């Protein structure tokens, strides 16, 4: 069983990256005017996503909220409009469902151009949402991003993927267990304990490979660890004694700060020079687990995700 546990060093570094940081030196008040900028925020209904959308609207960006539940999203958009005087746009998407992801990307492109569970296919829900769905969504939007980047000012076209210090908590050996994504005993053994951290480990791998492949295109790609805050997601953590103790210890920063790091990464002029970096609170370049920069693992995951997308698209064609 030791193979499936993070090392003490990785466990310690996960906490070190999120604690005892002092107050942030940068605030969203420093965001420049974002008029004529179009920004997509996945999961903007609550928590970090809500604060991110609010700050972007306050600085005149055109913001699309992508989330699964329209009945929850629309009241949030109304509330944001009351607070900011600006209205976000909504795109429905279930990021764990690739058909839904494709419909969402197509809807966006038309507009621009003028808990421990599995998906119905039997894949891990958290992985599909945090990795496969975002990979496919980005892939579908890349032609537009590449076209925009040809004429945009340097460093202004950005892809910001939200990571977490939890990426450090995957097994110390053989961390990329892609066969654990499918429903079965291995998934129960590995992902029941480390599923969220595994998804963020893979998100870092994918983001680093994306950065490597598009380094000469004027698209800036970054991973961001926003810090540790109590959000609606933490309400769904198993209420074990250990988790209750961890909640008391690590959620120590003001919730006002929860969107600061990704807002800085997405808007600050100086962040436009940080292609391929892993950003941590507060607006620092961090050092993710070394394995997330392993080109062999990066390529392995990318190939797997490409295969998943191709299989999905072939299935859609055959079913048409």
248 is catalytic: no
The answer to whether residues 282 and 225 touch, using CB atoms and an 8 Å cutoff, is no
**Helix and strand totals (H; E) in the chain:** 10, 7
- In this structure, what DSSP letter does residue 217 have? T
- Complete edge-to-edge strand list for the sheet that includes strand 62-67: 38-42, 62-67, 89-92
How far, in Å, CA of 85 to CA of 222, rounded? 30
How far, in Å, CA of 86 to CA of 300, rounded? 42
The neighbour count for residue 92, using CB atoms within 10 Å, is 15
196 is catalytic: yes
Q: From the candidates 14, 96, 163, 203, which is the catalytic residue?
A: 163
How far, in Å, CA of 200 to CA of 223, rounded? 10
Structure tokens at 147: 């076209």
Alpha-carbon radius of gyration of the chain: 19
Q: From the candidates 200, 253, 258, 304, which is the catalytic residue?
A: 200
Please name the helix (run of DSSP H) or strand (run of DSSP E) that holds residue 65, with its range, or none.
strand 62-67
Structure tokens at 151: 């004429």
Catalytic residues: 163, 196, 200
């Amino acid at each position: 069983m030791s193979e499936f546990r993070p090392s003490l060093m990785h466990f310690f570094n996960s906490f070190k990256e999120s604690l005892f940081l002092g107050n942030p030196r940068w605030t969203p008040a420093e965001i420049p005017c974002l008029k004529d900028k179009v920004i997509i925020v996945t999961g903007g209904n609550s928590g970090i996503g809500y604060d991110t959308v609010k700050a972007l609207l306050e600085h005149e960006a055109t913001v699309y909220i992508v989330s699964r539940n329209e009945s929850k999203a629309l009241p949030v958009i109304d509330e944001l409009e009351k607070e900011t005087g600006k209205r976000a746009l909504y795109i429905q998407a279930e990021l764990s469902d690739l058909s839904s992801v494709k419909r969402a990307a197509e809807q966006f492109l038309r507009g621009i151009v003028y808990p421990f569970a599995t998906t119905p296919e039997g894949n891990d829900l958290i992985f599909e949402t945090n990795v496969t769905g975002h990979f496919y969504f980005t892939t579908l939007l890349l032609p537009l991003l590449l076209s925009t980047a040809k004429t945009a000012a340097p460093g202004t076209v950005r892809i910001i993927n939200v990571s977490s210090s939890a990426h450090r908590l995957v097994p110390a050996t053989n961390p990329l267990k892609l066969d654990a994504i499918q429903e079965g005993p291995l998934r129960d053994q590995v992902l029941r304990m480390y599923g969220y951290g595994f998804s963020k480990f893979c998100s870092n791998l994918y983001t680093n490979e994306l950065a490597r492949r598009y380094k000469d295109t004027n698209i800036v790609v970054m991973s961001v660890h926003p810090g540790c805050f109590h959000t609606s997601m933490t309400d769904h953590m198993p209420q074990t004694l250990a988790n209750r103790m961890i909640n008391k210890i690590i959620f120590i920063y003001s919730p006002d700060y929860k969107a600061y790091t990704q807002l800085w990464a997405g808007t600050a002029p100086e962040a436009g020079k940080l292609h391929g970096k892993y950003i941590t609170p507060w607006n620092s370049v961090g050092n993710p687990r070394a394995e997330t920069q392993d080109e062999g693992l990066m390529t392995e995951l990318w190939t797997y995700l490409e295969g998943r997308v191709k299989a999905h698209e072939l299935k859609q064609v055959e079913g048409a």
